[in-house]
Chain A
Amino acid sequence: MSSAAQSLPIEISSLCKAYGPVKALDDVSLNIAAGEFLTLLGPSGSGKTTLLMALAGFMRPDGGSIRFGDREMIATPPHKRGLGMVFQSYALFPFMTVAENVAYPLKIRGVSKSDQKTRAERALDTVQLGGYGDRRINQLSGGQRQRVALARAMVFEPQIILMDEPLSALDKKLREHMQIELKALHQKLDATVVYVTHDQREALTMSDRIAVVNHGRIEQVETPERLYRQPHSFFVADFIGESISLPVKVANDTAQLNGRVLKSDLPIAHGSGGHRLVIRPELLEVTSGAVPETANDLSGRVNDIIYQGDSVLVMVQHDSAGQINVRVPANRAGQTGLPSKGEQIGLALHPEDTIIVPEHVS
């Protein structure tokens, strides 16, 4: 696609929406850079879709501001916002052909018939559906429909594209394939993308930054890696990736687990309701001998070993902290010296992996 249109930044500030006593959007502020791929990630009912619908103009907020570039959009009707949109249900028009669907945004913008044709064909080529223009929607598979919806959303070169869980109806394999494809497509297009999903892995795979939404508020906005390694709250730590957590006592910026000081390189975020140590099973190290002085010692007795194909989950009973899971890769390196049931093993949690988060963000 040519980049005639420059992508636009989005500036959301103090956006509020209440449905009775429920705050669907609770004073949400978020800045999205031009050309960024930002994902709104959260469980169902968190308010992520409400936020997207507010951006699209289908939901009227109670107050706040939405700016695309330097234009205030809060009261602009949806059809004048100039957005590309992809829906969870694809929302393709069943009585039109593939090409007519893709050309729809051009047709209503008064683009000439011949231009409509060439641009629709080019958009279909971009999503690898060249030559499918004359097909009917009901002749396409789920993945192909998704691509048509994408082509339709980008054919008029919008500066902003909104996507509402566009891959959730696809099976796992196709979904993972489309994630990579979408990411590559975004790099080709000059458009700001706001993407909604409840799938943390999808968010980690595709996004420049992820905004974690919970109870109508944004808990944290970060790049995938920092979000995973340095969550700011227990909710974020728990929602993203696999983890187990243990309650810890925090005083003077040091945390104690059952009376032993935890060594951590990561800052301890402040909040309310106590703190928890978050342990990611794949970040623990099984040591052959004693746990080195520099690391936190979580050694225990092996309770059970579960084979999961790509990895092996070792369940370790710690004397005081309870059960701790360790994930060991199922390759040769991981298998050498795999412990057996009932064996006492050393478990090291290194300071750079020692995540301590508050129960709630303040």
Chain B
Amino acid sequence: MSVAETYEGAVTHQNASTLKSEERRESMTFFGLSLPAVLAILVVVFLPVFWLSSLSFYNAAGELSMENYARIFESALYRRTFVVTFQISIAVTVICVLLGYPLCYWLTKVPDRTAAILMVFVLVPFWTSVLVRTYAWLVLLQRNGIINSSLMSLGIIEEPLQLAHNLTGSIIGMVHIMLPFLVLPLYATMRSVDTDLVRAAVGLGSSPRGAFWRVFFPMSLPGLFAGIVLVFILSLGFFVTPALLGGGKVQMLAQRIESTITVYSNWGAASALGVVLLLLALAMIWLMNRVFGLDKLFMR
């Protein structure tokens, strides 16, 4: 051991300090690179959310109170809005799963080229503005729209069906807009399922149907779960489609918040509704993770 090493009280490896500072410099670089994004999120997301949430704790007179929250739980109107919001979100999610799962499964079965072309059909509407798509549905679904006039000229119905300006219209429009959010994660997961696994199940004696339910379906659950969470949470806060296709008869939470501000200019009440929606969404994610969480799937 050299004198210098003894003096420092520890064994110094050759070039140790150079290597250490090199490592520090590297981690500083990575931190520096992510700094703009971190700051942007802080300024654009966290601060406004925090500020808006804080409004909910003040009443109309500007005093600190829980009045806004109390009103949400007392008012039948507000309770009704929450129930409708959840009902619509659940209905949209269920329909998306029923339509999306078979679609994704079929996409994994067709040749890659065909699947790529079919995916474009899923994605093109996804890239189109929600507003444009909602108005397009209005054109299709209204009283003298294409669907009603076709059905009537074919003699299938006598009176036009009430498809728009109600719950049905809202759900049809929302399902169309939400479907890609289910299809994309689900399809990616299904694609990554090793085909040998299904082959192994069949080779070892499972019928093709048994192999699907015992092996393929469980393997596709993480993607299905991701899709369900996305669709459900996005549906909870959806505004444009129910506002336009619901014709004022469907009041979801986002619409209630909007009218609370624009009609009554009650920022405190609107903020309280937003906070409750945010907490409910977080609670739903937590709950869904508990029910069919990823850890359950792989770490039973």
Residues of chain A touching chain B, judged by Cβ–Cβ distance below 8 Å, are 56, 58, 77-79, 82-85, 87-89, 91-95, 97, 104-105, 108-109, 136, 138, 152-153, 156, 162
B203 at the interface (CB under 8 A from A): yes
Interface residues of B, count at CB 8 A:
23
Instruction: Give CA–CA (A138, B299) in the complex, Å.
Output: 10
CB distance from B160 to the nearest CB of A (A): 50
Residues of chain B touching chain A, judged by Cβ–Cβ distance below 8 Å, are 194, 196-197, 199-208, 210-211, 214-215, 218-219, 297-300
Q: Which of A84, A89, A91, A92 has the most CB of B within 10 A?
A: A91
9 residue pairs A–B, Cβ–Cβ below 8 Å: A78-B202, A79-B211, A82-B205, A104-B204, A104-B214, A109-B205, A152-B204, A153-B204, A162-B203
Total contacts A to B, CB within 8 angstroms?
Answer: 67
Q: Is the CB of B197 within 8 A of A79?
A: no
Instruction: Give CA–CA (A83, B299) in the complex, Å.
Output: 30
Instruction: Give CA–CA (A79, B215) in the complex, Å.
Output: 14
CB distance from A159 to the nearest CB of B (A): 13
Q: Which of B197, B203, B214 has the most CB of A within 10 A?
A: B203
Given A78-B199, A156-B205, A162-B203: 7 more A-B contacts, CB < 8 Å: A58-B203, A78-B203, A87-B200, A94-B219, A104-B214, A109-B205, A152-B204
* Smallest CB gap from B199: residue in A: A58
CB distance from B189 to the nearest CB of A (A): 13
B215: chain A residues within 8 A (beta carbon):
93
Q: Is the CB of B203 within 8 A of A83?
A: yes
Instruction: Give CA–CA (A12, B242) in the complex, Å.
Output: 65
The 7 closest A-B pairs by CB, nearest first: A91-B200, A85-B203, A91-B196, A105-B204, A87-B196, A79-B202, A89-B196
Q: Is the CB of B200 within 8 A of A79?
A: no
What does DSSP make chain B's interface, helix, strand, loop or mixed?
A: helix
* Smallest CB gap from A80: residue in B: B205
CB distance from A24 to the nearest CB of B (A): 18
Q: Is the CB of A108 within 8 A of B200?
A: no
Our pick among B196, B205, B219, B300 for the contact of A79 (Cβ within 8 Å) is B205
* Smallest CB gap from B218: residue in A: A95
Q: Would A85 and B210 be within 8 Å (CB), given that A79-B205, A95-B218, A95-B297 are in contact?
A: no
CB distance from A34 to the nearest CB of B (A): 21
B201: chain A residues within 8 A (beta carbon):
93, 104
* Smallest CB gap from A162: residue in B: B203
Our pick among B194, B196, B210 for the contact of A108 (Cβ within 8 Å) is B210
B194: chain A residues within 8 A (beta carbon):
89, 91
Q: Which of B196, B208, B219, B300 has the most CB of A within 10 A?
A: B196
Q: Would A95 and B298 be within 8 Å (CB), given that A58-B199, A89-B196, A108-B210 are in contact?
A: yes
B205: chain A residues within 8 A (beta carbon):
79, 82, 105, 108-109, 156
A87: chain B residues within 8 A (beta carbon):
196, 199-200
B299: chain A residues within 8 A (beta carbon):
136
CB distance from A120 to the nearest CB of B (A): 13
Instruction: Give CA–CA (A56, B203) in the complex, Å.
Output: 7
Our pick among A79, A88, A138 for the contact of B203 (Cβ within 8 Å) is A79
Our pick among A79, A89, A156 for the contact of B207 (Cβ within 8 Å) is A79
* Smallest CB gap from A56: residue in B: B203
Q: Is the CB of A94 within 8 A of B298?
A: yes
B202: chain A residues within 8 A (beta carbon):
58, 78-79
CB distance from A53 to the nearest CB of B (A): 9
Q: Which of B194, B211, B299 has the most CB of A within 10 A?
A: B194
